[in-house]
């Protein structure tokens, strides 16, 4: 039963006006739902205060509505707490997947995320892509979507060619060598055009099918992908499929695209011999609306390979996570896909994580590596556990450390620039991952002490304190929160919800005894905290954060 909808129904019936909406008063002592009467003033030609008074007298109380307060222009509804509590808690108890509305039942979705240049260890800025992507994947799966996760490997292109050149003559190259190598070769290329020429020669050979060059590229890319995915899998971020850019070259799919575009009459060769797509008429925010697809020597550029990739992606809906630097490019790509009558992926853009000294740049080497962030967090988590227990379980330390990292990044809405600050990022107090896990662990501990099975046959009307009602209301909102997060592809909505649920629980925990309460109240409260535990567990799961029974 949805109390909000019921109240709206009653209001619409009484006033004869459709499309009304109720809101939640600033303080629960004022009521559970409120209807501001301003909007009716014009239609009814009366003052809002007068309307509120009249409506207040007209509406009859029922099983749902216990009381109506008229406060100036506001009509405040008090709902029947007992039936409300029972309603919400029973739903949670009965449904292990509480929160899911099965929005994705029978649907499938391809989610492409991470897709970092395979040139070095990922920095926290780029990790934002993986974390947001992974959370979206989890949310969609929770809603019943059949999701396939893809990582598009940019294994061709100037960056990799530079790395290949930088690796020349070195035999044992490890993943951790790559970053330094990459920075070094970038500097060289910048200074010396002759070296840049060498880079392009490598690319040319590669695209012409030179086997040795191809092997050299593959070697570097393999080292890199292996290193990157190891880090991400440590954080429990996994991929169903790796799509290699080069595949679309070898299979001549890129040539196909050029032909198809040519047929549309929008492809031209510019004065320097490059193949260029004319994109006039798409309202693209650029001086000359074109998309350059090849170099003068005929080698492919990223947009061409990316186009081939998207067109050959599995049919159906797809989502892609991209940095804000790709916004315009994505418009261009979408325009090109539209031209070829191909479905356009939904996109989630995220802004960069900035450092005090400016933005992160792999090329310049001014970065905070995800690896290092993970290491620091793990160290701190071990220290904290050690303080409490003496012994440290590696597994738990990781759950806490990585939970902290994920939450710290996922709690901020993706379009915002984030300032990276070590102290804040490594905080375990307040609005942080460990705080959420702690609330969960506390509930587990109460059940450990209780030692018996929960009896679900309880009198819900005993849950009547302010803290309990607040908590139950929040629990009831979970499915709608997950719905918004799903529809808007915004994991941070889940983050802030779980945080307020946890803090609502702490408030309740501090003001209501559970084990020491009278038997009947105790039973009802145990059911309540079991429900909180489940929702916390489900919610944290959507962010990819593990829970602990004890911490």
User: Per CB under 7 A, which of residues 398..457 are in contact with RNA?
Assistant: 400, 411-413, 415-419, 421, 423-424, 427-432, 434-435, 437-438, 441-442, 445-446, 449
Name the token pair of 281: 């008429």
State the number of binding residues for RNA (CB under 7 A): 101
State in angstroms the smallest separation of the CB of 158 from RNA: 4
* Binding to RNA, residues 128-167 (CB under 7 A): 154, 156-159
Interface positions, 309-328, toward RNA (CB under 7 A) = 324-328
CB atoms within 10 A of CB 91: 16
Which residues have C-beta within 8 Å of that of residue 92, sequence separation ≥ 6? 98, 475, 531, 534, 535
Question: In the complex with RNA, which residue's Cβ is closer, 96 or 346?
Answer: 346
Task: Kindly state the tokens that stand for 419.
Answer: 């300032």
- Shorter beta-carbon distance to RNA: residue 191 or 327: 327
Residue 447 CB: number of other CB atoms within 10 A? 18
Contacts of RNA in 269-298 (CB under 7 A): 270, 272, 274, 276, 285-288, 290, 292, 295-296
- Does residue number 228 form part of the binding site for RNA (CB under 7 A)? no
Q: How far is the CB of 172 from RNA (least distance, A)?
A: 26
What are the residues whose beta carbons fall under 8 Å from the beta carbon of 238, sequence distance 6 or more? Answer: 149, 232
CB of 361 to RNA, least distance (A): 8
Tokens of 336: 């090109």
Rounded least distance, CB 339 to RNA, Å: 17
What's the rounded Cα separation, in Å, for the pair 434 and 259? Answer: 55
Please provide residue 21's backbone torsions phi and psi, each rounded to the nearest 5 degrees: -140, 145
Q: Residues 331 to 390: which contact RNA by CB under 7 A?
A: 351-352, 354, 358-359, 381, 384-385, 387-389
Say how far apart CA 42 and CA 221 lie, in whole Å: 68
Site for RNA in 479-538 (CB under 7 A): 484, 488, 492-493, 496, 499, 503, 506-507, 509-516
Q: Is 551 in the site for RNA (CB under 7 A)?
A: yes
Sheet with 275-278, side-by-side order of all strands: 267-269, 275-278, 290-292
Q: Which of residues 20-49 bind RNA (CB under 7 A)?
A: 21, 23, 25-27, 30-31, 34, 36, 38-39, 41
Contacting RNA (CB under 7 A), which of 144, 302, 343, 372? 302
In angstroms, the Cα distances linking 233 to 223, 229, 370, 406 are 15, 6, 12, 13
Element (H, E) at 111: strand 108-112
CB of 147 or CB of 514, closer to RNA: 514
Is the Cβ of residue 147 or residue 377 nearer to RNA in the bound state? 377
**For RNA, which is the closer residue by CB, 114 or 538?**
114
CA 41 from centroid of its chain's CA atoms: 42
- Distances in whole angstroms, Cα of residue 322 to Cα of each of 232, 319, 329: 17, 10, 10
Burial 495-516 (b: 16+ CB within 10 A, else e): bebbbebbbbbeebbeebebee
- Which residue's CB is nearer to RNA, number 147 or number 182? 182
Smallest distance, RNA to C-beta of residue 494, A: 11
Q: How far is the CB of 72 from RNA (least distance, A)?
A: 6
What is the footprint of RNA within residues 241-270 (CB under 7 A)? 245, 270
Paired tokens of 59: 């509406």
């Amino acid at each position: 039963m949805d109390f909000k909808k019921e109240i709206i129904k009653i209001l619409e019936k009484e006033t004869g006006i459709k499309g009304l909406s109720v809101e939640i008063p600033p303080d629960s002592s004022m009521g559970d739902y409120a209807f501001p009467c301003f909007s009716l003033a014009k239609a009814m030609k009366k003052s809002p205060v007068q309307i509120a008074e009249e409506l207040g007298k007209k509406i009859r109380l029922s099983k749902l509505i216990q009381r109506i307060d008229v406060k100036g222009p506001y009509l405040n509804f008090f709902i029947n707490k007992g039936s409300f509590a029972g309603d919400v808690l029973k739903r949670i108890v009965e449904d292990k997947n509480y929160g899911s509305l099965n929005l994705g039942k029978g649907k499938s979705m391809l989610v492409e995320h991470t897709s970092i240049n395979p040139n070095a260890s990922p920095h926290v800025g780029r990790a934002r892509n993986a974390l947001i992507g992974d959370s979206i994947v989890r949310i969609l799966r929770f809603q019943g979507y059949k999701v396939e996760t893809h990582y598009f490997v940019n294994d061709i292109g100037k960056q990799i060619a530079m790395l290949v050149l930088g690796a020349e003559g070195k035999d044992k190259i490890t993943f951790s060598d790559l970053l330094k190598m990459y920075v070094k070769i970038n500097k060289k290329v910048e200074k010396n055009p002759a070296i840049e020429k060498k880079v392009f020669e490598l690319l040319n050979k590669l695209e012409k099918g030179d086997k040795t060059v191809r092997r050299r590229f593959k070697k570097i890319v393999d080292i890199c992908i292996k290193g990157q995915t190891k880090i991400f899998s440590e954080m429990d971020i996994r991929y169903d499929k790796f799509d290699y850019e080069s595949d679309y070259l070898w299979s001549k799919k890129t040539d196909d695209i050029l032909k198809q575009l040519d047929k549309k009459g929008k492809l031209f060769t510019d004065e320097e011999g490059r193949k260029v797509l004319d994109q006039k008429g798409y309202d693209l925010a650029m001086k000359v609306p074109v998309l350059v697809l090849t170099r003068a020597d005929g080698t492919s550029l990223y947009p061409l390979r990316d186009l081939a990739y998207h067109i050959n992606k599995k049919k159906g809906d797809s989502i892609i996570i991209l940095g804000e630097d790709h916004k315009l490019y994505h418009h261009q790509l979408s325009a090109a896909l539209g031209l070829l009558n191909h479905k356009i992926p939904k996109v989630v853009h995220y802004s960069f994580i900035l450092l005090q000294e400016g933005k992160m740049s792999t090329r310049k080497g001014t970065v905070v590596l995800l690896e290092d962030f993970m290491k620091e967090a793990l160290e701190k988590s071990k220290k904290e556990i050690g303080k409490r227990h003496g012994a440290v379980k590696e597994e738990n330390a990781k759950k806490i450390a990585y939970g902290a990292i994920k939450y710290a990044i996922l709690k901020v809405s993706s379009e915002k620039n984030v300032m990276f600050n070590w102290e804040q990022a490594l905080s375990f107090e307040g609005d942080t991952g460990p705080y959420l896990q702690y609330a969960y662990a506390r509930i587990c501990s109460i059940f450990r002490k209780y030692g018996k099975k929960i009896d679900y046959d309880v009198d819900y009307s005993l849950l009547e304190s302010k803290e309990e009602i607040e908590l139950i209301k929040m629990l009831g909102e979970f499915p709608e929160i997950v719905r918004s997060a799903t529809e808007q592809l915004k994991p941070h909505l889940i983050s802030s919800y779980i945080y307020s649920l946890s803090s609502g629980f702490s408030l309740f925990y501090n003001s209501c005894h559970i084990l020491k309460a009278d038997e009947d109240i105790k039973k009802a409260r145990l059911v309540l905290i079991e429900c909180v535990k489940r929702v916390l567990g489900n919610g944290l799961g959507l962010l990819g954060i593990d829970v602990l029974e004890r911490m």
